[in-house]
Amino acid sequence: MDFSFLGRYWRYYLVGAKNTLIIAILAVAGGVLIGTLLAVGRISRRAPLRAAATAYVEFIRGTPVLVQLFVIYYGLQKAGLAFPEWPALGRLLGVSVPDFLAGALTLAINSAAYVCEIFRAGIQAVDRGQAEAARSLGLRYGDSLRLVVLPQALRNILPALGNEFVVVIKESSIVSIIGIAELMYKADTIRGMTFRPFEPLIVAAAVYFLMTFPLSKLLGKIERRLRSGAY
Amino acid sequence: MALIETQGLRKAFGRLEVLKGIDSSIEAGETVAIVGPSGSGKSTYLRCLNLLERPSGGSLRFHGGEVFPAVADEDALRRRLGMVFQHFNLFPHLTVSDNLTLAPMKVLGLPREEARDRAMALLARVGLEDKASAFPAQLSGGQKQRIAIVRALAMRPEALLFDEPTSALDPEMVGEVLAVMRDLAEEGMTMVVVTHEMRFARDAATRVLFMDSGLIAEEAAPADFFSEPRTPRAREFLARVLDR
């Protein structure tokens, strides 16, 4: 194996890793936003809301993210709903902003289904008696959720949410297919330019691992701290 | 006019009929003890009174106004009926003081200072003012239940519902909780108490409802109920629980 190409191309990996992190952060932020709304629907007392949220979660989890990516990427184009160009951001990323945002949106829509389940599980793990006590004091449903149940659910939710971020960092490699210059795309570029099909991938794998491993460790620490606290 | 009144109150969970038509009325100032074998529907009856369970049939009136089946403001009803649970259900992420001020501030709109003063006065009353800044996890079971009682009192409810308030306590802590409840009863607080503490029912209650298989099988003054129960089921039940 020959890694001498790194001398010339190491910057590619840095730029790719940066873009991977940016798209993962956007995706998880969007995922949390949509996922929170979904979770509220999922635990709602209104059957239609519950059904809609459940359908979303089941559909997204039951279809490949690659298909979702194409559907959204070409669907947006077909509908004439392209994201606007944004030159400043484009220069920072070195990619087409509309494509980049379409990729981030896909990952956010996908991640939302998993985030929703993280929230739902976290909320339902809180003892029923907590909501009952809050309601029996006259607190409205929304207040009892916000002031009593959610703060307790956060202990279960935060570690799982961090884990979702790790998952999205890895899954974001799929957007290389629509030409977004993140880590995987950059590795492919190097493969083409050096005529070395194998070694650049090993380096890409190492860079992914360097991003996810410290994050996992950090999450483990946070989780232990959350569990040990007496509130 | 009765404070709380039920007529033909029924509750089914799926095909399981837990309440089969309860006629009852609770007058202001009464301490009503609800006793009976487990599975007789005592807790379900109590939980229907503040609509924590939605009845399947019959009617529920509060101050003569129908709250079920009529669509009523459940939150307004619960604000006026406090509830104390078997497992305390204190909010573990809040200090004792915040447990007591949350609902008065959020629901009644009291300013923080006033809610805090009210909380401190209530804590002093049950001898726990030094626990104001403690978290529930740092308290004993008996302390938790006394806090849960004053948390309900902080809303100045018109009646308190107790769902087996001493059943989850170690035996040596039962007394401190019952003492608080006795005080409340003597002060004229309206109380409905589902309990296995027969001595409390005999000494502190003004009336005993004996429930069996989803119905009120017997209703009597405590002295009469404990000395000469009328129904065979009540005699059987008392023989079992008083024998211990």
- pLDDT tens digits along B161-203: 999 999 999 999 999 999 999 999 999 999 999 999 999 999 9
Chain A residues closer than 8 Å to B78 by CB? 135-138
Q: Which chain A residue's Cα is nearest to B79?
A: A138
Confidence of residue B244 (pLDDT cuts 50, 70, 90): low
Q: What pLDDT does residue A94 have?
A: 78
Instruction: Compute the distance between CA of residue B30 and CA of residue B186 in angstroms, rounded to an integer.
Output: 10
> Do B93 and A138 lie within an 8 Å CB cutoff?
no
A198 touching B (Cβ < 8 Å): no
A148 touching B (Cβ < 8 Å): yes
Residue B199 neighbours by CB distance under 10 Å: 12
Instruction: Compute the distance between CA of residue B234 and CA of residue B239 in angstroms, rounded to an integer.
Output: 8
Q: Which chain B residue's Cα is nearest to A130?
A: B89
> Do B93 and A136 lie within an 8 Å CB cutoff?
no
Q: How many CB pairs under 8 A join A and B?
A: 68
Q: What would the DSSP string read from start to end of chain A?
A: ---TTHHHHHHHHHHHHHHHHHHHHHHHHHHHHHHHHHHHHHT-S-HHHHHHHHHHHHHHHTS-HHHHHHHHHHHHHHTT-PPPP-HHHHHHHTS-HHHHHHHHHHHHHHHHHHHHHHHHHHHHTS-HHHHHHHHHTT--HHHIIIIIIHHHHHHHHHHHHHHHHHHHHHHGGGGGGGT--SHHHHHHHHHHHHT-SSHHHHHHHHHHHHHHHHHHHHHHHHHHHHHH---
Among B214, B213, B218, which Cα is nearest to B201's? B218
Does an H or E element contain B96, and which?
helix B96-106
Instruction: Compute the distance between CA of residue B100 and CA of residue A67 in angstroms, rounded to an integer.
Output: 52
- Pairing relation of β-strands B31-35 and B16-26? unpaired
Q: How far is CA B18 from CA A37, B57, B121, B216, in A?
A: 36, 12, 40, 12
pLDDT score of A186 more than 60 = yes
Confidence of residue B227 (pLDDT cuts 50, 70, 90): very high
Does an H or E element contain B123, and which?
helix B112-125
A132 touching B (Cβ < 8 Å): yes
B51 touching A (Cβ < 8 Å): no
* Model pLDDT for residues A32-85, shown as the tens digit of each residue: 999 999 999 998 889 999 999 999 999 999 999 999 999 999 998 888 887 888
> Do B52 and A135 lie within an 8 Å CB cutoff?
yes
Q: What pLDDT does residue B21 have?
A: 94
Q: What pLDDT does residue A229 have?
A: 61
Kindly provide the ipTM of the predicted complex, given to two decimals: 0.92
Instruction: Compute the distance between CA of residue A98 and CA of residue B152 in angstroms, rounded to an integer.
Output: 56
Please compute the mean of the pLDDT values over residues A179-207 and round it to a whole number.
92
Does an H or E element contain B105, and which?
helix B96-106
Mean pLDDT of all residues belonging to chain B? 94
CA distance A35 to chain B (A): 24
Q: What pLDDT does residue B190 have?
A: 96
Q: What pLDDT does residue A231 have?
A: 59
Residue to mutate among A136, A157, A231, with most B CBs inside 10 A, is A136
Residue A177: burial class (beta carbons within 10 Å; 0-12, 13-18, 19+): middle
A132, A138, A231 ranked by CB distance to B79: nearest = A138
> Do B93 and A135 lie within an 8 Å CB cutoff?
no
B137 touching A (Cβ < 8 Å): yes
Confidence of residue A230 (pLDDT cuts 50, 70, 90): low
Confidence of residue B130 (pLDDT cuts 50, 70, 90): very high
B90 touching A (Cβ < 8 Å): yes
Instruction: Compute the distance between CA of residue B214 and CA of residue B11 in angstroms, rounded to an integer.
Output: 9
A7 touching B (Cβ < 8 Å): no
> Do B78 and A137 lie within an 8 Å CB cutoff?
yes
Q: How far is CA B243 from CA B168, B190, B233, B235, in A?
A: 21, 30, 15, 12
A151 touching B (Cβ < 8 Å): yes
B242 touching A (Cβ < 8 Å): no
Residue to mutate among A123, A126, A127, A137, with most B CBs inside 10 A, is A137
Residue B7 CB partners (closer than 8 Å, separation 6+): B23, B58, B59, B61
Residue to mutate among B89, B131, B167, with most A CBs inside 10 A, is B89
B107 touching A (Cβ < 8 Å): yes
Q: What would the DSSP string read from start to end of B134-148?
A: --GGGS-HHHHHHHH
B103 touching A (Cβ < 8 Å): yes
Instruction: Compute the distance between CA of residue B244 and CA of residue B229 in angstroms, rounded to an integer.
Output: 18
Please compute the mean of the pLDDT values over residues B88-107 and round it to a whole number.
96
B152 touching A (Cβ < 8 Å): yes
B74, B91, B137 ranked by CB distance to A148: nearest = B91
Chain B residues closer than 8 Å to A135 by CB? 52, 74-75, 78
B50, B76, B92 ranked by CB distance to A136: nearest = B50
Q: What pLDDT does residue A95 have?
A: 81
Contact between A153 and A125 (Cβ < 8 Å): yes
Please compute the mean of the pLDDT values over residues A97-112 and round it to a whole number.
93
3-state secondary structure of B220: strand
Chain B residues closer than 8 Å to A127 by CB? 87, 89
Q: What pLDDT does residue A86 have?
A: 82
Strand-pairing partners, residue A228, are none
Residue A29 neighbours by CB distance under 10 Å: 14
Which position has the higher pLDDT, B64 or B1? B64
Say how many residues make up chain A: 231
